[in-house]
């Protein structure tokens, strides 16, 4: 080979090297962008754009239009970016979401909005709910590997926990309920961290306990224990009774479900106690015999006055059992409605304190049925399939545990389909994770290519 040919070969080699380096740099940037969007989504829904609200301010209950507009823009923009990133590499995963059942649910929600008592309010809030839910569903696909998913989840959890503890120690008036709070001064002393209420902080901390346990199980022996311990301690100081009781009980139930081979046994274990809890709560105000059984339990038979709200909500369901009163539009102005004498205060409630009853009020019984089919029955079947194919057992258990916690937490609180509610976000994320792991293989090692958490590899 003459000198000119050798020089040409050397130049071509250098050029190829530059192209390869540029390609890898671009690839790393794309992978970093996916992780950045995942962390941003988690922090946006967990920390929000308005952390540490001052509950002593009389204006705290007033919705600020400009601030809400920024929330809509932020979630909408992140959701659009997430769709573009995932569509480039995970088209089969996206296509798997287009099922007749999912389309029926979306279609029913759109019909419900058309017939809503406050159509504009329902449409506006549905747009936000769609953006938040899209982010939650796509988040398992954004990080390129399971390892990067773990890092994103752990990093967001630590940021939130650090913020909450800094608030408690440096600005307790903004992170602990006080007797000067405009609403519910009786909660004085309960920790709420960066959230607006202890009833939001406590379930989030419960989910973070599960995240910490999961990270421990996959070998993160520093981040995992730190998250579990910090979240567990914070949960105790929130004073959230429901979340505290459910925390270990749900984890034990999830462990039993994981060890049970039969799908029918899994269904009995998961759903029979859930039905019993709904009967002992909402059912207790319908049936005198159930009410008598509830009064025998070692707890407040009115569930802190929620029985009045349940009676009021059941009356609202009876008014419009099919179409409902409109997505997210019923509880804004219910003061003119009739309720039982002595329970007039129930008309000032923000929701029905039961996710399933609330859906019946707002989107009707058909809407409730569709939500049950999509978010209650299908995830357990997906778990069975993922477990049968030995797909990332620890991650599958995390999703199962968060999903189970949401199901049971919903018997005394409202969060299903509730816009930017962090419990709804994590619940939808868990349900989507089970959906994907039932159909695709999880990527566990870091690879020098644009891959997602779930490869389009059918079982």
Give pLDDT tens digits for 259-273: 999 999 999 999 999
Reported as a pLDDT band with limits 50, 70 and 90, residue 182 is confident
What per-residue confidence (pLDDT) applies to 25? 45
Handedness of CA 453, 455, 456, 457 (dihedral sign): negative
Maximum CA pair distance of the chain? 103
Using N-to-C axis directions, what is the helix angle for 198-217 and 393-409, rounded to 10°? 160
Please state, in angstroms and as integers, the Cα–Cα distance from residue 34 to each residue in 20, 235, 375, following that order.
Answer: 21, 31, 26
> Across the chain, what does the average pLDDT equal?
85
CA separation for the pair 97, 157 (Å, rounded):
27
What per-residue confidence (pLDDT) applies to 304? 59
Instruction: Report, as an integer, the average pLDDT of 153-163.
Output: 97
Task: Say how many C-beta atoms besides its own lie within 10 A of residue 378's C-beta.
Answer: 18
pLDDT > 70: percent of the chain: 82
Closest-CA residue to 55 (of 179, 160, 155, 208): 179
Lowest mean pLDDT among 238-242, 297-301, 437-441: 297-301
Reported as a pLDDT band with limits 50, 70 and 90, residue 331 is confident
List b or e across 203-238, with b for residues whose CB sees 16 or more CB atoms inside 10 angstroms. Answer: bbbbbbbbbbbbbbebebeebbebbbebbbebbebb
Lowest mean pLDDT among 21-25, 363-367, 420-424, 441-445: 21-25
Residues 6+ apart with CB under 8 A from 311: 285, 339, 340, 343, 346
148 pLDDT above the threshold of 70: yes
66 pLDDT above the threshold of 60: no
End-to-end CA distance of the chain: 52
Lowest mean pLDDT among 44-48, 167-171, 239-243, 349-353: 349-353
Closest-CA residue to 41 (of 156, 154, 161, 175): 156
Indicate yes or no: pTM above 0.85: yes
Lowest mean pLDDT among 16-30, 346-360, 404-418: 16-30
């Amino acid at each position: 080979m003459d000198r000119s040919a050798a020089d040409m070969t050397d130049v071509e080699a250098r050029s190829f090297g530059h192209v390869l380096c540029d390609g890898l740099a671009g690839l790393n940037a794309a992978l970093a962008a996916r992780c950045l969007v995942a962390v941003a989504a988690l922090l946006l829904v967990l920390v929000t754009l308005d952390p540490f609200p001052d509950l002593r301010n009389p204006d705290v209950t007033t919705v600020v239009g400009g601030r809400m507009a920024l929330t809509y823009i932020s979630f909408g923009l992140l959701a659009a970016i997430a769709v573009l990133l995932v569509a480039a590499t995970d088209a089969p995963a996206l296509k798997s979401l287009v099922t007749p059942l999912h389309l029926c649910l979306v279609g029913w929600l759109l019909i419900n909005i058309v017939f809503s008592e406050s159509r504009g309010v329902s449409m506006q809030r549905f747009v936000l709910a769609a953006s938040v839910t899209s982010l939650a569903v796509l988040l398992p696909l954004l990080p390129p590997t399971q390892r990067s998913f773990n890092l994103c989840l752990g990093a967001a959890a630590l940021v939130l926990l650090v913020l909450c503890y800094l608030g408690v120690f440096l600005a307790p008036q903004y992170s602990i309920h006080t007797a000067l709070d405009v609403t519910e001064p009786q909660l004085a002393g309960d920790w709420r961290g960066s959230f607006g209420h202890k009833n939001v902080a406590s379930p989030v901390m419960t989910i973070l306990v599960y995240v910490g346990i999961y990270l421990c199980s996959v070998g993160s022996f520093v981040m995992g224990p730190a998250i579990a311990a910090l979240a567990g301690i914070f949960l105790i100081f929130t004073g959230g009774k429901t979340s505290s009781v459910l925390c270990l009980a749900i984890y034990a139930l999830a462990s039993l479900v994981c060890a049970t081979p039969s799908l029918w046994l899994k269904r009995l274990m998961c759903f029979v106690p859930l039905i019993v809890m709904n009967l002992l709560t909402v059912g207790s105000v319908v049936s005198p015999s159930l009410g008598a059984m509830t009064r025998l339990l070692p707890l407040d038979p009115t569930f802190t006055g929620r029985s009045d709200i349940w009676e009021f909500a059941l009356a609202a369901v009876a008014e419009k059992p099919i179409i409902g009163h409109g997505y997210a539009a019923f509880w804004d102005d219910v003061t003119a409605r009739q309720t039982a004498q002595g329970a007039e205060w129930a008309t000032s409630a923000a929701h029905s304190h039961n996710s399933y009853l609330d859906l019946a009020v707002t989107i009707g019984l058909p809407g409730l049925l569709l939500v049950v089919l999509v978010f209650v029955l299908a995830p357990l079947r997906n778990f069975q399939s993922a477990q049968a194919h030995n797909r990332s057992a620890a991650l599958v258990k995390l999703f199962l545990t968060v999903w189970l916690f949401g199901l049971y937490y919903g018997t005394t609180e409202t969060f299903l389909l509730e816009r930017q509610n962090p419990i709804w976000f994590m619940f939808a994320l868990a349900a989507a994770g089970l959906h994907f792991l039932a159909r695709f293989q999880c990527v566990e090692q870091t690879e020098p290519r644009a891959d997602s958490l779930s490869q389009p590899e059918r079982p």
